[in-house]
Amino acid sequence: MALSAAAMLTDHRHQHLQEVRNSLSQALYPLQYLVNLPSRLANWSSEIFSSHGQLLQENQRLKQQQLLLQARLQKLEIIDSENARLRELLHASFKVGENVLVAEMLAVDMDPYRQQVVINKGSNDDAYEGQPLIDAHGIIGQIIHAYPYSSEALLLTDLSHSIPAQLNRNGLRTIVSGTGKTNQLELLYISNSADIRIGDRIISSGLGRIFPANYPIGVVSSVKHYPGRDFVEAYATPSAHVGRSREVLLVWDKAKLAADTQATEAAKARP
Amino acid sequence: MMTHCKNYWVVPVSLSIALVLTIMPLPPHLQPFRPDWLSLVVLYWGMAIPSRFGLGLACLFALLLDVSQGTLLGQHAFGLCLILYVVLRMHRQVRVSSFIQQALFIAVLLLLKQLLVLWVDGIVGRSVENLWLYFAPSLIGMLLWPFVFIILRDIRRSLHIR
């Protein structure tokens, strides 16, 4: 009794119990794997039993999509290099780019009152606490506990989650906070006179040093002005398919990695 | 004390199954109604074999539950140890009462546990949007108790655990 109370207290205040959590999670992983097995089997068998024609069709479709994306990428590459040149002219810092790794969500339920997921990559794959997660459409959340073989991630729609962001159209800065619903985000601290409209795209500003800059977060869905209040009440729909996508991307910021390795080397050289 | 009984492995296996049932995916609108399987099984073993089943094993599984749910480490363990203690103290009265009386008693204990978990959530600053729905699992647990009881009793009798 007293032991568990003490455990709760230390877990809340300090980070000492991370080791205990890690080892318990290793004991738990087989169970999670077992629970995830039926959905994996279903996926696998649907792949095995899908007909030749279907596969051909899908292949064709994917090839077309690939061509389309390739074409768009060419344009983007030109814009990217132009952007880099302009930034050099301005002596502004230059975004290096990111490393990514595909992770799969385990079909495992957690506390129904928090928006969390378990993914199948952990600290053995260099995932770390606070690492941003994106899906094909935008930012989806961040890792809050990295275990050896799996990680827990908090989705951006959780009540306790916030991201520093800006509007794509005019660079207006705001903070995007979760509401606990999978299809709604709240925009905080936007003054009444600010220029914000329904349909504005919201991107990450990179100010919090956790999320890389310029990734899509959502689209403004409602703006209400109240004369008596200091701030606008604005909501947005997340771009990422929260609650629908099975695969997510772990993002490593190359610039940050370089800075980290430099710091560790400096620490080593100092003795 | 556990060494006398060769079929004691059933207890941890049943607790593991309860844990699997707890993390098994359910459709989102059914999720708030998921009964607290681990508490039900722990309460049964506490009532049936109080001399063999202690707080230690229950506490370990409750910690595993904490890790799987991403809650504070010890949050479920705290509540579970408290209600298990009550059952261990009162097992003689509970064992002889009827199914309905037992189920009501279990419901009170499950509510108590949920209240404790909610309490800790409140202290740490996590909120629950629908408070009435939050207590639904206790009532579902109460309705399921006779089935859990009968199934586990039959397993216990067939394996001669006493």
Chain A contact for B81 (CB, 8 A cutoff): yes
Chain A contact for B13 (CB, 8 A cutoff): no
Query: Whole-angstrom Cα distance, residue B20 to residue A32?
Result: 7
CA A89 to the chain's CA centroid:
32
Nearest residue on chain A to B34, alpha-carbon basis: A112
Within 10 Å of residue A134's Cβ, how many Cβ atoms? 23
Query: Whole-angstrom Cα distance, residue B11 to residue B127?
Result: 34
CA A218 to the chain's CA centroid:
12
Within 10 Å of residue B53's Cβ, how many Cβ atoms? 23
Is residue A71 domain-resident? no
User: What is the model's pLDDT at position A164?
Assistant: 94
pLDDT, one tens digit per residue, over A160-203 is 899 999 998 998 999 999 988 888 999 999 988 889 999 999 99
User: What is the model's pLDDT at position A109?
Assistant: 72
Q: How many domains does chain A have?
A: 2
Instruction: Inform me whether the pLDDT recorded for A241 exceeds 70.
Output: yes
Six token digits for residue A20:
């205990």
- Same domain for A190 and A108? yes
User: Between A and B, how many residue pairs show a Cβ–Cβ distance under 8 A?
Assistant: 95
Shortest alpha-carbon distance between residue A40 and chain B (Å):
13
Most confident range (mean pLDDT) of A66-70, A178-182, B1-5 is: A66-70
Q: How many domains does chain B have?
A: 1
Is residue B85 domain-resident? yes
Q: For A88-116, what is the mean pLDDT?
A: 73
Edge-to-edge strand list for the sheet holding A132-134: A98-104, A247-253, A132-134, A139-146, A151-155, A116-119
* Domain hosting residue A175, numbered range: 99-271
Residues near A88 by Cβ (< 8 Å), separated by ≥ 6?
A: A94
Chain A contact for B27 (CB, 8 A cutoff): no
Contact B20 A34 (CB under 8 A): yes
Is residue A74 domain-resident? no
- Same domain for A11 and A119? no
Nearest residue on chain A to B77, alpha-carbon basis: A4
Contact list in B for residue A39 (CB cut-off 8 A) is: 25
Is residue A93 domain-resident? no
**Which residue of B25, B69, B124 is in closest CB contact with A107?**
B25
Residues near A257 by Cβ (< 8 Å), separated by ≥ 6?
A: A99
Please state which of the ranges A118-122, B109-113, B146-150 shows the lowest mean pLDDT. Answer: A118-122
Query: Whole-angstrom Cα distance, residue A194 to residue A200?
Result: 13
pLDDT bucket at A269, cuts 50 / 70 / 90: low
Contact list in A for residue B124 (CB cut-off 8 A) is: 12
Which of B70, B156, B139 is closest to A110 using CA atoms? B70
Contact A145 B70 (CB under 8 A): yes
* Domain hosting residue B92, numbered range: 8-20+32-158
Q: Which of B16, B34, B36, B73 to mutate to test the interface with A (most CBs of A within 10 A)?
A: B73
Is residue A151 domain-resident? yes
- Domain of A261, CATH number, reads 2.40.10.340
Instruction: Inform me whether the pLDDT recorded for A54 exceeds 70.
Output: yes
Q: For B96-120, what is the mean pLDDT?
A: 91
8 Å CB contact between B142 and B111: no
Instruction: Inform me whether the pLDDT recorded for A92 exceeds 60.
Output: no
Query: Whole-angstrom Cα distance, residue B12 to residue B151?
Result: 16
- % of chain B beyond a pLDDT of 70: 96
Q: Which of B24, B65, B131, B134 to mutate to test the interface with A (most CBs of A within 10 A)?
A: B24
Is residue B2 domain-resident? no
One-letter amino acid of B130: N
Nearest residue on chain A to B116, alpha-carbon basis: A5
**Which residue of B31, B68, B124 is in closest CB contact with A12?**
B124
Length of chain B in terms of residues written: 162
- % of chain A beyond a pLDDT of 90: 24
User: What is the model's pLDDT at position A258?
Assistant: 65
Instruction: Inform me whether the pLDDT recorded for A115 exceeds 70.
Output: yes
User: What is the model's pLDDT at position B4?
Assistant: 58
Most confident range (mean pLDDT) of A8-17, A28-37, B87-96 is: B87-96
pLDDT bucket at B14, cuts 50 / 70 / 90: very high
CA A219 to the chain's CA centroid:
16
Is residue B36 domain-resident? yes
Instruction: Inform me whether the pLDDT recorded for B70 exceeds 90.
Output: no
Q: For B16-25, what is the mean pLDDT?
A: 88
User: What is the model's pLDDT at position A212?
Assistant: 85
User: What is the model's pLDDT at position B2?
Assistant: 47
Q: For B93-120, what is the mean pLDDT?
A: 90
User: What is the model's pLDDT at position A75?
Assistant: 83
ipTM of the complex: 0.71
CA atoms B141, B142, B147, B153: torsion sign: positive
Helices (H), B49-98: 55-69, 75-96
Most confident range (mean pLDDT) of A105-119, A245-259, B35-49 is: B35-49
Shortest alpha-carbon distance between residue A148 and chain B (Å):
13
- Same domain for A109 and A44? no
Shortest alpha-carbon distance between residue A182 and chain B (Å):
11
* Helices first, then strands: H and E counts in chain B: 7, 0
Query: Whole-angstrom Cα distance, residue A174 to residue B75?
Result: 35
Burial A219-247 (b: 16+ CB within 10 A, else e): bbbebeeeeeeeebebbbebbbebeeeee
Is residue A64 domain-resident? no
Quote the mean pLDDT of chain A.
83
Of residues B97 and A253, more confidence is placed in: B97
Is residue A269 domain-resident? yes
Is residue A78 domain-resident? no
Please state which of the ranges A58-67, A256-265, B54-63 shows the lowest mean pLDDT. Answer: A256-265
Instruction: Inform me whether the pLDDT recorded for A43 exceeds 90.
Output: no
pLDDT bucket at B1, cuts 50 / 70 / 90: very low
Of residues B99 and B54, more confidence is placed in: B99
**Which residue of A28, A39, A180 is in closest CB contact with B129?**
A180
User: What is the model's pLDDT at position B142?
Assistant: 93
**Torsions phi, psi for A125 (to 5 deg):** -100, 20
Shortest alpha-carbon distance between residue A167 and chain B (Å):
29
Is residue A58 domain-resident? no
Contact B31 A17 (CB under 8 A): no
Q: For A25-33, what is the mean pLDDT?
A: 83
User: What is the model's pLDDT at position A200?
Assistant: 92
Is residue B154 domain-resident? yes
User: What is the model's pLDDT at position A48?
Assistant: 81
**Which residue of B23, B32, B64 is in closest CB contact with A24?**
B64
Query: What secondary structure, in 3-state letters, does A27-49 show?
Result: HHHHHHHHHHHHHHHHHHHHHHH
- Same domain for A106 and A44? no
